Amino acid sequence: MATYTGTGPGSCTVLPGAGRGPGTFGILATRTGSAQGFWRAANDALARYELYRGMDAPADLDGSPWETFASLPHDSAALAASHVYHFVTRLRNAYNLVSRNITETVIGVDAGGLQVAVAPSAPIDLTLTPDAGGTVRARASYHYNPDGSNQATRFLIYLWLNGTGPDLAVVVMGKADGVAKLNWLSPAFEHGATIQVLIKVRRIDAGPVNVDSTNVTVLTATASTAGPAAPAGHAVFGEYSQE
């Protein structure tokens, strides 16, 4: 029983009994080839952390890093006073590929060289509308990604009733796709009561804590217990037959 196996490009393998009849040989053809392209070779000297810094502006992630270092933790050079700094730390590997994270850490430095709290950005899309049974409904949106590590985690609802107050309600944020949304329904008030609401956001979990947004816009609505108005008239539509 004989078998011949080729070893070069375009070679073939001869197998006994693989033909169409007794005593014949079949030929099993094989192919070899090559793939051409660009290949990355690992270079351990390229692996490093890269710290990007923006001073009173977002960090330029398309430019050169402000500092590079081999390991964490890392102490940076001193920061000049009276500025707000935006930092992003990225990792470059031995194949010269860099991470694509964009979340910033924002640090404020006062005139005395001390770190100051950076307030989260203000909520937007603020509305206050009367709801059923003498309640009012407050709505707002908070885009948290631009605040980086300084992002808020709570909504604050300050409420005045007929000029008296405020009472404070605190709502834990539900975050999804870069936006936290507030949809808050108040307790019931008497018909015609004047309700005023100030909606802020607060950071309580990281950095200098209990830091609120600085917005001051107050919304006003009038509570109503009236039901829908009765119709002014009526009509009857139908068919009848007479024999």
Q: What is the pLDDT of residues 210-224, one digit of tens each?
A: 899 999 999 999 999
In this prediction, residue 3 carries a pLDDT of 44
pLDDT: which is higher, 12 or 65: 65
Residue-wise pLDDT tens digits, 100-116: 999 888 888 999 999 88
CA atoms of 171 and 13, how far apart (whole Å): 75
Spell out the residues 6+ positions from residue 39 whose beta carbon is closer than 8 angstroms to its own. Answer: none
Instruction: Read off the pLDDT of each residue in 109-124 and give the average, rounded to a whole number.
Output: 91
CA atoms of 52 and 102, how far apart (whole Å): 10
Residues of CATH 2.60.40.10 domain(s) within the chain? 124-222
State pTM to two decimals.
0.62
Residue-wise pLDDT tens digits, 177-213: 999 999 999 999 999 999 999 999 999 866 667 899 9
Instruction: Read off the pLDDT of each residue in 8-24 and give the average, rounded to a whole number.
Output: 54
CA atoms of 146 and 136, how far apart (whole Å): 30
Output Rg (C-alpha) for the chain, integer angstroms.
35
Cα separations in angstroms, 208 against 57, 104, 135, 169 = 21, 16, 35, 22
Share of the chain above pLDDT 70, in %: 76
Query: Which neighbouring-strand residues pair with 211?
Result: 203
Q: Spell out the CATH class of 124-222.
A: mainly beta
In this prediction, residue 5 carries a pLDDT of 46
